Amino acid sequence: MRFSVKYTVVTIFLTLLTLQTSMAQTTKEANPADVSSVDAIMKAVYDVISGDAGQKRDWDRFRTLFHKDARMIPTGTNPKTKVTGATSFTPEDYIRRVEPVFAKDGFHEREKARHTESFGNIVHAFSTYEAFHSLSEKTPFLRGINSIQLLSDGKRWWIVTIFWQAESPSTPLPKKYLKSKN
């Protein structure tokens, strides 16, 4: 009986410790201006991934925007099989994946429109994006929708998931997602 009480106490302690640290950042502290609101964190994530070819991104800032269990999930269609799938990355995986691309090519992504739904401490943002190789370009080389799930822990906002699909000839952006609606 004594063993099971000790075991229960240790289990409860470890569970509480896990819950307490589950929201903790593993990197530097976020700039409060980046995580104080949904608008702020959305602006920050677009800002931090954008830059000219070879421009070093502030990956430490990027990391501070994400919950420790966050996922980034691009979708794509296999040109041979025509099957659409998705691959899940951590923010670290994403950094490793895009650094070589950003070293060669400029990538400026900006939000064109947003549709949000919220309940309690969660927000879902359907964020229509446009991407340019340079700020001087007038026509985007890429457009699509980022489906972004956010969580407020009462102190700040966290990105939990960014799930996206690029526009294609078979999936053009619907007109309703080209203008913001909140």
Extract the tokens encoding 121: 């401490």
Q: How far apart are CA 131 and CA 135, in angstroms?
A: 10
Number of H helices, E strands in the chain: 5, 6
pTM beyond 0.75: the answer is yes
pLDDT along the chain (182 residues), means of 10: 46 41 59 98 98 97 98 94 95 97 97 98 98 96 98 98 96 95 76
pLDDT value, residue 181 = 84
pLDDT value, residue 94 = 98
Cβ atoms 128, 113 nearer than 8 A: yes
pLDDT value, residue 25 = 43
CATH architecture of the domain with range 28-177: Roll (3.10)
Q: How far apart are CA 80 and CA 77, in angstroms?
A: 9
**Residue-range domain boundaries for the chain:** 28-177
pLDDT value, residue 7 = 45
